Amino acid sequence: MYKNNYVAIMAGGIGSRFWPLSRTDYPKQFLDILNTGRTLIQATYDRFALFIPKENIYIVTSNQYKHIVAEQLPDIAIDNILCEPSRKNTAPCIAYISYKLNQINPDANLICAPADHIILDPKGFKATCLQALHFTSNIKALVTLGIKPTHPNTGYGYIQYDQLAVSVNVFKVKTFTEKPDKELARTFISSGDFLWNAGIFVWQVKNIVKAFETFLPEMHDVFDAEKNSFFTPDEKEAIERIYPQCVNISIDYGVMEKADNVYIIPSSFGWSDLGTWASAYENLEKDYLENAVTGANVMVIDATNNIVHADSGKLVLLQGLDDFIVVDTQDVLLICKKEKEQEIKEYVAEVKRNKGDKFL
């Protein structure tokens, strides 16, 4: 059974909400943001290597990051690093690995997961993934992992599910909702039948290929037309022909919200998507004034609830700030209220408009 289990680690994003530490040429998945000694993609690989054969672990990333992946994950065969010629969201990314694997093993059971999540309980994560793989190997199902919410977070998507289990701890999905406002998030949590959308998916490749054929037929057609190129020297050129024809769309919008065979497993394994500086703050050690500080020469005086990241070679003295994000790099200094963390992506766009790509 284990030979049929595969993982695709999605590592092509630029992590703009972690700017200015995360840059276009070296984004957050390749950084050790939490000072654990391992970068986010290395930690993700480590988790899956506990129960997936390393030859069945694939990385889907951008062409420009291939050398970084190869450097940080030396155990990964170079042929297992799949390079996208352009960023088109998660649907084309998942189509690439799915149609490729379908050529050699239609019974392949595939986990698709982002490279930049935090999992504090690897054993619990392994148990949940193995449960999902067992379910999808027997049922024509598209499974997503849902996280039991702890607070009304407005940065996550929410999934509503039936309360009657179809199998042990497996439930039919009813609705998807993208990033609600605070009031709606509170309503979701109080109802008891909503989970956070972790963006981790499990299915047999033949079933997701069928879903693409049904719900994204144009994308299916271009991948299907080139399928004989996979695992051949022509694959790179085929992908360069395919991607310009693909719409920019997430797998959630393109498939999961439309399919009627979507199931969810409520999960608790210490998950965070580490999508923003505030989520990093939640996972870092703090001093007695609730400041999370990274940098050997940061001094904090009369300041509380801040996250501060600075190069150890620079002295940074912070006084009087409360609830701020302070990130000091060689060429950029960011000082931003934590409550505005979701807007950092917009600030990056503003920097691009005014200053070009120099600081991105």
Whole-model pTM: value is 0.93
Is 41 or 161 the better-scoring residue by pLDDT? 41
Average pLDDT, the chain: 92
Query: Per-residue confidence at 111, pLDDT binned at 50, 70, 90?
Result: very high
Give the pLDDT score at 325: 95
Give the pLDDT score at 154: 77
Closest CA to 36 of 106, 105, 122: 122
Domains defined for the chain, CATH in brackets: 2-272 (3.90.550.10), 277-355 (no CATH)
Query: Per-residue confidence at 16, pLDDT binned at 50, 70, 90?
Result: confident
Q: Answer positive or negative: Cα dihedral of 54, 60, 65, 67.
A: positive
Q: What is the pLDDT of residues 287-329, one digit of tens each?
A: 999 999 988 899 999 999 999 999 878 899 999 999 999 999 9
Is 57 or 185 the better-scoring residue by pLDDT? 57
Question: Is residue 307 classed as helix, strand or coil in its secondary structure?
Answer: strand
Is 156 or 52 the better-scoring residue by pLDDT? 52
Mean pLDDT is lowest, of 66-80, 230-244, 267-281, for 267-281
Length of the chain: 360
Reported for 172-176, long-range contacts at CB under 8 A and 24+ positions apart, including other chains, are: 172/262, 172/263, 172/264, 173/144, 173/256, 173/262, 173/263, 173/264, 176/252, 176/256, 176/257
Task: Answer yes or no: are the C-beta atoms of 69 and 61 closer than 8 Å.
Answer: yes
